[in-house]
Chain A
Amino acid sequence: AQSVSQHNHHVILSEAASLELGCNYSYGGTVNLFWYVQYPGQHLQLLLKYFSGDPLVKGIKGFEAEFIKSKFSFNLRKPSVQWSDTAEYFCAVNGFSGGYNKLIFGAGTRLAVHP
């Protein structure tokens, strides 16, 4: 079955620590990849997206993600997290067979950043 896996359900970091959240998907065709963020009390916001071209994409607030096709992965990174990065992060994929613009989400990773 087509799916998206996020390896860490909960991550706790101190400010200035580096962040890497894993995301893997199961599909061999052409995909578009997204990371969404949900800050406490707010709605889902697009953090960054990959459609084609340079596999290293940069998003808002200093986040970046790398698409590794051979590993079916799209990991999210940030060199130095801030307390304001506390949120839930969702990896999403579309492009599954017959699924134009149908997003498949991972279960999410809840990040807590301590001052």
Chain B
Amino acid sequence: DAGVTQSPTHLIKTRGQQVTLRCSPKSGHDTVSWYQQALGQGPQFIFQYYEEEERQRGNFPDRFSGHQFPNYSSELNVNALLLGDSALYLCASSWGQDRGPQYFGPGTRLLVL
């Protein structure tokens, strides 16, 4: 049973560039959430996708956008990168929109220079 997978594992970008991160949910899961984890902090909720629509959003600017595909996989896009966007980006999957536990992937570490 494959868990949550994310790609790439590491990424280096420069300020102003755009980046796309990818996530495949755990088998049987249909909901994908994205979190940003800055160094020394807990993960912060970015947004959640269910049925190919953004259902909830955290306190992140519109530079952060996403997409969910019919196979439930998801992408996180960040435009106009800032130095402060450097962080570990975590994808989590769950079933439906109930309050069940979320299962996390290994993350993509993004460094913005």
Contacts and interface: CB of A to CB of B under 8 A. Distances in A.
Contact of A104 (B33, B45, B55): B45
Nearest to B55: A100
Contacts, number: 63
A100 B33 CA distance: 11
Interface string B84-111: 0000001010100111111111110000
A34 B101 contact: yes
A94 B99 contact: yes
Contacts of B103: 46
A103 B33 contact: yes
A56 interface: no
A100 B99 CA distance: 6
User: What is the size category of the interface that chain A forms with chain B?
Assistant: 20 to 34
Contact of A51 (B33, B43, B99): B99
B56 interface: yes
Interface of A: 4, 32, 34, 36, 42-46, 49, 51, 90, 92, 94-95, 98-108
The 10 A-B pairs with the shortest beta carbon distances in the complex, nearest first, are A105-B42, A44-B104, A43-B106, A32-B99, A105-B43, A107-B42, A108-B42, A100-B97, A46-B101, A102-B45
